[in-house]
Amino acid sequence: MSDTSQASIWNCTYTLIKHFRSRIKASGLKLQFCTNETQATREKFVEKLQRLGFDIAVNEVTAPAPAVCRILKERNMRPYLLVHDDVIPEFADIDKTSPNCVVVGDAADNFSYKNLNEAFQVLMGLKNPVLISLGKGRYYKETDGLKLDVGVYMKALEYACDIQAEVVGKPAKMFFQSALREMGVEPHQQLLLAKIDSKEAMWYSD
C-alpha cells in the first residue's frame, strides 16, 4: 500500500469518526470504541490516536486486555501471560501466582518455542484447561510485511491441548458485552454496533 492511499484511508477514517462521534454525542447517546490492539496498553494506544489527530479519551476505548482482566477477576482466575511486553502493565493488579489459565495476546517476538511450550505445560497441568485469547486474527500488515497474529498461536495451543479457546476481542460476543458493562448499558439497550477499519467502513446492528 502506498503512502498516499494509507494517508487517504486515515483521512477518510478520521472524517467518518469525527462526523459520527459528534452526531452521537449531540444526541445524548453513549459511545464506546472497541479495538483489538493487544501490543500496547490502552493509554499508549490512545496517545497514538491523539497524535494522529483523533479527539478521544482512554475511558472511551474498550480493549481486550482490560476486558479480560475484568473476566479474570470475576472468575477468580490467575493467568499465565503469553503477551507482548508492552501490554503487561494492564495486568499489574492481577494475581499471576500458580496459574489456572493461559491468556494469549499478540505477543510477536515473545512467541518463542520456550514461551509457547511453557503456556502449553501450564494448560496440560490443569484439570480443566482454560485458554483465553485476545482476538483470533490470522495476520496483519506492517510496513515491513505481513505478520502472524494471535489467532495463529491460539489455534496452535488449541490443537496441542485438544481444547477450544475463549476469545475476548472483536468479533466475540463476550468482548462486546464487556464494552456494554463498561458503559453501564444493558444488552437490550444497545442501539448500534459499528465497524470502521482500514479496509472498509460499514455499519451493522447486532
Residues that bind a copy of itself (CB under 8 A): 107-114, 116-117, 120-121, 124, 138-139, 145-148, 151-153, 155-162
Residue type, 127: K
Q: Which residue, 110 or 198, has its beta carbon nearer to a copy of itself?
A: 110
- Of residues 56 and 88, the one with the C-beta less far from a copy of itself: 88
CB of 19 to a copy of itself, least distance (A): 35
Cβ closest to a copy of itself, residue 159 vs residue 204: 159
**φ, ψ for residue 53 (rounded to 5)?**
105, 0
Contact 103, 81 (CB under 8 A): yes
Tell me how far, at minimum, the Cβ of 79 lies from a copy of itself, in Å. Answer: 19
The DSSP bridge partners found for residue 139 are 148
Specify the residue, 136 or 170, whose C-beta has the smaller distance to a copy of itself.
136
Cβ of residue 195: shortest distance to a copy of itself, in angstroms?
21
Are 32 and 67 within 8 A, CB to CB?
A: no
Q: How far is the CB of 51 from a copy of itself (least distance, A)?
A: 27
Q: Where are the alpha helices (DSSP H) in the chain?
A: 3-27, 42-51, 64-74, 113-124, 150-161, 173-183
